[in-house]
Chain A
Amino acid sequence: MALAVIGLSHRTAPVEVRERFVFNDSEAAAGLLQLTGSGGIREAVLLSTCNRTELYLVGDRSGGENGGSGNGSAATNRAWAAVEDPMFQAAERMLAERAGMPVSEAASHMYRIRRLEAARHLFRVVTSLDSMVVGEAQIQGQVRRAYESAAALGGDRRVVGPVLSRLFESALRVGGRVRSETALGVGAASVPGAAIELAKKIFGTLRGRRALVLGAGEMSALAAECLAAEGVENIVVANRTEQRAHELAGRAGAAAAPYSALPELLAKTDIVATATSAPHAVITRDLVQRALPGGANRPLLIVDIALPRDVEPSVGELENVFLYDIDDLNQIVDANLEKRRAAIDPAERIITDEATAFWNWYTSREVVPVIRALRDRAESVRQMELEKTLKQFEGLTPEQREAIDVLTRQLLNKVLHPPTVRLREAVNNGRGVAIVDAARYLFDLDPPPDEGGK
């Protein structure tokens, strides 16, 4: 069995190329069924996100090489390549067809990763180490959906078998381990995200909170979008030009209000996000005090992401008012990114451990058939030679014949014991595939195709 990944990501292709390779659910299903029905590819999972399109493939290795040609690691690599190359070619054709571009052009954006590195790659993807923003949380859900969608396909001809099933289950577990054991996903990595993080530290959940967005520019739109995504149901947009306030409110599913209603709006809101282009302070201490006579009965969070600032700094001194400007938010982002960077090495160590564990399991699937083939071959040689020998000594008593049979069997067992033990050990020390290939080559073993997968 051969394990490989082929695909493209933000590292190898610009967005105008990546967007041509995006698959919806039905296209992904059709592509996977086509690939696994074409022979050579036993299992396949397609991961398609805005930043990557990747095919995880398992091919029938024992059917594609005889394990006995050439020598050493070069021979091993050639043997693997004999299975992997046709898989890659089939996958390239399928992906190029989806993108509507020549295979050679599509292939120029793609990477091909094999065996242990393929497993490690998936583990890096699922933990977001390969993401555009390291530590982002969405990728784990995307990998889970890709796996579950593929696993649900195929009816009696399934596209996910034991290898990819084990690989993806391991990957999702690795994702969970890295998130719980390291600080890789800690905090927000963007200014709007930091504002949300702050809001959650004050209000807990934002569901049901009321928010006021001042300004109708790009940052205001982003703020309204983030607040809505966090479940803030009552968002009001106020802008000096009412027309633009209405436009943004319409886009964000919010309400628009005139600028003159600012004091009343402040009195009713929990969160204020302000990003106007006003050259002076829009929210003054006096305005807040007038809006909240006797002080705020509940916390009021004001996030000022405008430059120059929209809010007088002294507003933050008022009881129950929490005021943050762009520098404060950047401080949070920087601290989070620093924490994430520090978490990369521990995350890589977890990935290496888990990838090795997966690979040991994977190679152990190859060792058992090889040991069986080795013993079968030796036994058939022994039987043949024993028969020839006994024919030459027809006068032997049954006891003497039995003694010779036992002798040869014991000799065989003693000779085969060390290689059997070494093969089993090789699985656990990471040299499984090389040793298995060496055994195949040295003893001229060629297990039947079906045995490789059992």
Chain B
Amino acid sequence: MVGLLHGGALVLYSIAGLALVGALASGRRRASWFPLATVSAATVLHGIGLVAFVLTFRELPLAWLAPSFSTLAFLIGGYLLAITAVHEGPPLGLVLVPIVVVLLVSALVLGISPAGDPLSFRGVWGSLHVLLSFTGCAGLAVAFASGLLYLLQFRELKEKRFGRVFRFFPSLQTLDRLGRHALGVGFAALTLGLLLGWAGTVQVQEPLEGMRSEVAWGVFTWAMFVVALTARARGGGARNRRGAIASVIGFVLVVLAYVVLRVFVAQGPSFL
């Protein structure tokens, strides 16, 4: 059942993504309700899938690789839904839907079920720590999408190319605003998440040795947020563009860091 619901959500996310690609390629307008309806349906189905996971396994989908991927995809899907409802927002799905799809496909391939020992953390604070950290990561993904589209639209406008990208992508102002909000929300969530994690380890006097990779990755992600926010604040005349560049590079580095840590350092079935 959990896999089936996730599969359904994957199909709906893919339909939304394909519709957006089709609209970009053909230059034809689509009814504005279509992406909103498909993303809404996908997110709802995905949410039901996660609830089914909780009911089936009596565990939160916040640890182990596949359930974590699914939760992260769900949070990005939630962001996407909120953005799709915003005027001019749907094109961000061109970047966000593939991220969600990759995460969901990975989760389905790995099998969305607890793998191995129960969660290494317990209680509300531990769960909140992971959830907030994932929310921060989702925020960085949205900032990446906004930044990437901002840079492409900026190039089209500067080079006076009034083709499909110019027409289909949102205005620079909208992309900048979405990126700024995503960075703000993501940074606040991740900072709180990291603080909760730190407080948790201090309280239970848990040694950090076994969690080196996730601590390193969390702090590295937080640093990328700081770099992106600083670029926005101190970029002078080019602050918006530099903020977009920093968001894009930051997200790419965070993903690369995760892959490196996952492949070369982390062991076992946990997220890291």
Contact = CB atoms under 8 A, between A and B. Distances in A.
Nearest to A324: B160
Interface in A285-322: 292, 294-299, 316, 319-320, 322
B173 A203 contact: yes
B64 to A, nearest CB: 42
A187 B164 CA distance: 12
B37 to A, nearest CB: 14
B29 A295 contact: no
Interface stretch (B183-191, B202-210, B214-222, B236-244): B236-244
Interface residues of A, number: 31
Nearest to A328: B160
Contact of A180 (B30, B157, B160, B163): B30
B162 A332 contact: yes
A199 to B, nearest CB: 9
A295 B28 contact: no
Given A180-B31, A183-B29, A320 B238 contact: yes
Given A182-B28, A297-B237, A204 B157 contact: no
Nearest to A317: B158
Given A201-B172, A203-B173, A180 B236 contact: no
Nearest to A184: B29
Interface in A105-126: none
Contacts of B240: 298-299, 320
Nearest to A316: B158
Contacts of B173: 202-205, 299
Contacts of B236: 294-295, 297
Contacts of A375: none
B176 to A, nearest CB: 9
- Residue from A179, A183, A319 having most chain B Cβ neighbours under 10 A: A319
Contacts of A200: 171
A18 B240 CA distance: 51
B88 A183 contact: no
Interface of A: 179-183, 186-187, 198, 200-205, 292, 294-299, 316, 319-320, 322, 324, 328, 331-332, 335, 339
Given A297-B239, A322-B157, 17 more contacts: A181-B28, A181-B29, A186-B27, A200-B171, A201-B157, A201-B172, A202-B172, A295-B236, A295-B237, A297-B237, A316-B158, A319-B241, A322-B158, A324-B160, A332-B162, A335-B162, A339-B27
